[in-house]
Chain A
Amino acid sequence: MSTSESNEAQTTISNPEDMSLSYEPLFDATEEDNGPCYLPSYSSEKVEVDSLSSTSEGVSSDGSDALSEEGVLEDRQFSEKEDSEISGDKGNSELQESFDELISGDLHSEEGETAQQRVEGVDRSILIETSSISDKYPETSEIQVESAAENGNAEVHNSYQGHESGRGGVNAIEGLATAIGGNGVLKPDIGQNEDRLKDNCVQGKQHQYEDDNSTAWRKHKKHFFIFSHAGKPIYSRYGDEHKLAGFTATLQAIMSFVNNSGDSIKYIRSGHHQVVFMVKGPIYLVSISSTDEPLRALRRQLDLLHGQLLLILTKSLEKCFLKNAKFDLGSLLGGTQNVFSSLIHSFSWNFASFLCSYTCLRLPHTARQAVGAALQDIADKDILFALVLSDSKVTNIVGADKASLHPTDIFLLSNFVSSSESLRTTESFLPVCLPKYNAMAFLYAYIYYLDKDTCLILITKNADAFFHLKDCKSKVESFLTESHVLHDISNSVARGGLRIDDLPGGDVLYGSLPVSRVMGDAKESHSISSIKQRTGVGGAAGLWHFIYRSAYLNQYIASEFLSPLETPQAQKRLFRAYQSLYVSIHGAPTGPHQMKYRRDENFVLLAWSTADFEFLAAFDPLAEKSSAITVCNRICQWVRDLENELFFLGANPFNW
């Protein structure tokens, strides 16, 4: 314990200085990911949870959506006979019934139950809709029961909570409801040194009222669509899914036209635009973008989007389509808009999205070990994985024997957790699926924020493990709090990642630096003279930014965006350039290129790929080749010397 205490002392001393350096203007809500700026649209669902009357409103709006979709269906002649047989009145009355039921239920329910009802209500409205579509398909309702049961599981645990901790339980239910139901709350300003690019995400549905006829909609730089093989929209990044039914039907028609000739379409390029098609069983995914990202990067993004869908619903959703081609998946996803929009946003700031790796919180080795010990301590047969994420970065992971967590699963899980604002306020127990671990089955995730940035996730196969996991949480929490490791972690989060100006500069011998000093107080450990020697803006030799990826650890480390990469535009440009560079060295038909140097008007980029590691760096466009190479070599050596702190070494290597 003494080591971690001394570490803590050091970090607290260094903090003020560090902070003064690292603090940047925070969260800039007006900057939006792509396209023109609009005010964030708040979804109505947040309001629903708050009051009784609005709950029924919320449900009724769900219901009317279902109805209007029926109409669309008929208009588009998608439906076969069964569809046309259904009279609108019938559906209407059934819906009305369910509303009545809901409202009457609400009358004598607690606030917590309201939320519960709402979840149920959404489900029921799906039930009504699908059963009205086809009386001929009794299986459909069976499926609904399945999915309702899944939700039911969650509800059961919520009610446990309710019994146990009163108000807290209510919060938990609210949390779950909003986690599943999503909300329009903007991410609060978190007092930490974060890339602003990351914060640019406007949560909730953007441009809700656009459709394929509006010019504004067509001008968005990057569209994502998920729809069923029958052409029924499931998700669209922009615009209202229901209004886009005609558009997704067009996409589906293109795909099936090519399919008819025994072929399948992969992509279309027209000028700046790329349309990328992906088929995943009965789920079709399409992106339309004018961002000039390489094809392989776009494919990876569609893969991730599909993975996110599986994380929420598992692959067994495909069975629903086998049973009923016109199955409406959109309603099962009700309110998960945030998860998808934050995922798509991460495609333009999170290096993990193209590096197929995860990044770790920079933490003194002892602190990381302490977290590991705490997690190891609670590991038992019920816990499949235990991980601590801080600010979307991994602090430590412990897995049951032989089980390993794929970086993609970490990425998707982290996105799912961080994009659900309500999970921050309370403990939650949710069904999730880790697509790379087992795409077919649900696991259960116990999620609890130890502090405002740091989140404990316990994953179990056992649907009844809530109380057990709650105990585990308490153990971990008390251990981490008492040992001040939690404090170390929050300091690390506040300090942010690696900074270019932390790096040993000029003639300082990196090897001779005591590790703890480099970690603890970067400023002090490097002489002022070495700082003065720097050429250009940024780090040595005009270095602006770098990423180091360890191939066998499947982890990467990226430096913070510093001057002159202050603007989100500059950061995004660099992000895209890195992405192209990375894809380009890996896209060679005969294996990855070993090295790539690229200079254009924006920067000099260097990529270096070896069996052990990959290194990407950005320099000032006027940087000298020779000094840039020297700096790169130095950083690589330095990173390897600091592996203990920068990376999490205990993880099992992944086979993929």
Chain B
Amino acid sequence: MSELDTSVQLCIFDTSRGQSDGQELDKILFFYPSESPFSAQLSLIGLGEGIITFTKMFSPNAPCDIIDTEKRSHVFFQPEPDIWMILVIEKRKESGELGRTRALQAILMEAHGLFTLFYGSIRALLLNSPSGDVARSCLQAFLPDYISDVMTVKRLSMLSSHSGLQERGTIQMMALDRSTALEVQSVVDLLQSWFGSGRIHHTLLLFQDLLVSTTLPPEDAAHLYTYARMRLIPAAISTSSGGHSLKKVLSRANSSSVHLKASASDITAAGQRPSPADSSNHHSQFFTPRPLQHDKWWRDNDGFLVTDAWGVDAQGMSAITPTVWLQQSSQERMKLVAYQHKQLTVVMLISVMHLAPNADGSHVLRNQVLEKASNKLNALEDRLSKEWGGINANHVPGYRYLYVDYDSRVSKASPAGKIATLTKDSLLSLDKVRSEIDIAKGRCDGSGEAQPYELETCVRTRSNAWVVVRIRGNHELYLVLERASETLLLTAEATEKFSRRHCDGIFASD
């Protein structure tokens, strides 16, 4: 018996499945680590389901958020009706209480958001393939990559307490001056003005990891932005192989999986496909894209980004263009094409419906972009890199801050390097204050949104730092000031000053 690491477990199950005795395993759609014995899997799901039923007695509209036990925290998230995700994290002795539930739920939310971006909703997959195999293989192809990504950033159990000044699922914007903003707009207009087989429906422009502009609605933008940051930006694409190796990789992929025939479109419309008898050997039957697989995006010689994570076409000559599902705007499937020049990444979405069957519109588009827009894009990159204030552009001396606007899902924060200078005490205090506010906000959500929530809190920690929170409606500001001599009045004044200068005075107290 090898020791199975159960410090982090993630489980997704569908309470509407496996109703009869002996069918319980059918509920399980995903379990991490997958080597866990079925008894352990069923035990977790049994507990989850039991508690959900129990809490529904008292709180029918908001069943279970968290179960906290001596050794573990079970964080619940219900992304779709009857579909539940449970994240189990083992507590470490030294840290005792786990941080914010919301921060952990945000991980689950992000995972689900990205999943639906690439595969559509879990429910739709289950409807298309009632046996659940497709949904299982998609989850299996996606989540382990996601988990390893989240885990490598930091140990998961520490994540929440160190992310007090970060907000998962929000977008960090690049500050533009007026004329640059106009130029960006004109480039975007140019890209979207082309008709024909390769019409661009939406664009998302990033400079490094900051969003420059997007035409997507906030939720979709946040998902795509998250993905771009994870895999598409210059810092995230594969550097080891470079563009020249694509052919080699393609041929390797070709030879290793000769019978790769299905493309992403088959997966998402997999209802018609005969489902394999055993889900464990589905890889040999049809290809499930792994959008988060590491080192799978390269920059081609012409500046376009390519990947074979979605497989290669029937001829084995070119990679299949990735597709994404937009949830908020149109429920439509779009082809994703990305172009990169130095620090500038342009993500373009083309409606699949507007493409001729079996025709990949992307090379038409490629030519168009290269011919008509590359100069403009290059010029824009120049301009942006001049305007960019460096990694500490958002730094405000004396303050460590996070400002979130939940309406547009935009956040602005002190640079990570500066946040790291805070003492552990301040971070833990901030985390504590934030989790209290999370609960208080939850209360407001429930009791109707008749009046916007408003709150001002200043806390002086044991080590003389000040943690300040200002909330007005959907705007939230978190500040940590580590200047020991400050009094409450001076702190309030400093907050006021910050709010006026950096938050458009949204939190002004008059």
Contact = CB atoms under 8 A, between A and B. Distances in A.
Interface of A: 212, 218, 250, 254, 257-258, 261-273, 275, 288, 290, 292, 294, 580, 584-585, 587-601, 625-626, 629
Nearest to B471: A600
B195 interface: no
6 contacts: A271-B59, A271-B61, A272-B443, A273-B58, A288-B58, A599-B456
A409 B349 CA distance: 69
Nearest to A212: B57
B58 A218 contact: yes
A292 B436 CA distance: 10
B67 A218 contact: no
A263 B463 contact: no
A267 B58 CA distance: 15
Contact of B57 (A218, A258, A267, A589): A218
Given A212-B57, A584-B436, A597-B458, A264 B428 contact: no
Identify the 9 closest CB pairs spanning chains A and B, nearest first: A271-B62, A270-B55, A595-B460, A599-B456, A273-B59, A591-B462, A597-B458, A594-B460, A270-B64
A601 B436 CA distance: 17
A271 B65 contact: yes
Contacts of A288: 58
Contacts of B424: 590
Contacts of B59: 270-273, 290
Contacts of B458: 595-598
Most buried by B among A273, A288, A580: A273
A578 to B, nearest CB: 14
Contacts of B61: 271
Contacts of A599: 455-457
Given A254-B54, A273-B59, A601-B451, A292 B488 contact: no
Contacts of A269: 64-66, 68, 101
Given A271-B59, A589-B432, A257 B50 contact: yes
B442 interface: yes
A250 B69 contact: no
A254 B462 contact: no
B462 A590 contact: yes
Contacts of B62: 270-273
Contacts of B69: 258, 263-266
B425 to A, nearest CB: 5
B158 interface: no
Contact of B68 (A267, A294, A590, A591): A267
Given A218-B58, A271-B65, A254 B101 contact: no
Among A267, A589, A598, A601, find the residue whose CB has the most chain B CB atoms closer than 10 A: A589
B47 A257 contact: yes
B65 A629 contact: no
B263 to A, nearest CB: 42
Interface residues of B, number: 52
Given A263-B69, A266-B69, A275 B460 contact: no
Given A270-B65, A292-B443, A588 B461 contact: yes
B456 A254 contact: no
Given A272-B446, A597-B488, A263 B71 contact: yes
A629 B436 contact: no
A254 B51 contact: yes
Contacts of A267: 66-68
A273 B60 CA distance: 10
A292 B72 contact: no
A641 B61 CA distance: 53
Given A265-B67, A595-B458, 14 more contacts: A250-B54, A258-B69, A270-B59, A271-B446, A273-B55, A288-B58, A290-B59, A588-B428, A589-B96, A590-B461, A590-B462, A591-B462, A598-B455, A598-B456
B488 A263 contact: no
A589 B423 CA distance: 13
Contact of B436 (A257, A266, A580): A580
A179 B460 CA distance: 48
A580 B432 CA distance: 13
A388 to B, nearest CB: 39
B43 A261 contact: yes
A411 B270 CA distance: 67
A292 B440 contact: yes
B63 interface: yes
Contact of B489 (A218, A271, A625): A625
Given A264-B70, A629-B488, A600 B446 contact: no
Nearest to A605: B457
B464 interface: yes
Interface string B173-196: 000000000000000000000000
B492 A625 contact: yes
A587 B432 contact: yes
A217 B101 CA distance: 29
B266 interface: no
Nearest to B457: A598
A590 B95 CA distance: 11
A566 B379 CA distance: 68
Nearest to B40: A261
B63 A270 contact: yes
A471 B247 CA distance: 105
A159 to B, nearest CB: 49
A84 B485 CA distance: 73
B66 A268 contact: yes
A597 B489 CA distance: 10
B455 A254 contact: no
A239 B51 CA distance: 22
Contacts of B489: 625-626, 629
A294 B97 CA distance: 14
A595 B459 contact: yes
Nearest to B97: A589
B462 A594 contact: yes
B429 interface: yes
B454 interface: yes
Interface string B37-58: 0000001001100110011011
A292 B463 contact: no
Nearest to B161: A589
Contacts of A601: 451, 454
A514 to B, nearest CB: 33
Nearest to A600: B455
A268 B71 contact: no
Contacts of B436: 294, 580, 584
Given A268-B55, A292-B440, A589-B96, A596 B457 contact: yes
Contacts of A266: 68-70
Contacts of A597: 456-459, 488, 492
Most buried by A among B96, B439, B455, B492: B439
Interface string B443-484: 100100001001111111111100000000000000000000
Contacts of B68: 265-269
Nearest to B456: A599
Contacts of B454: 600-601
A136 B267 CA distance: 66
A590 B68 CA distance: 21
A593 B460 contact: yes
A268 B63 CA distance: 10
Nearest to A580: B436
A181 B2 CA distance: 60
Contact of B72 (A218, A263, A294, A591): A263
Interface in B409-439: 424-425, 428-429, 432-433, 436, 439
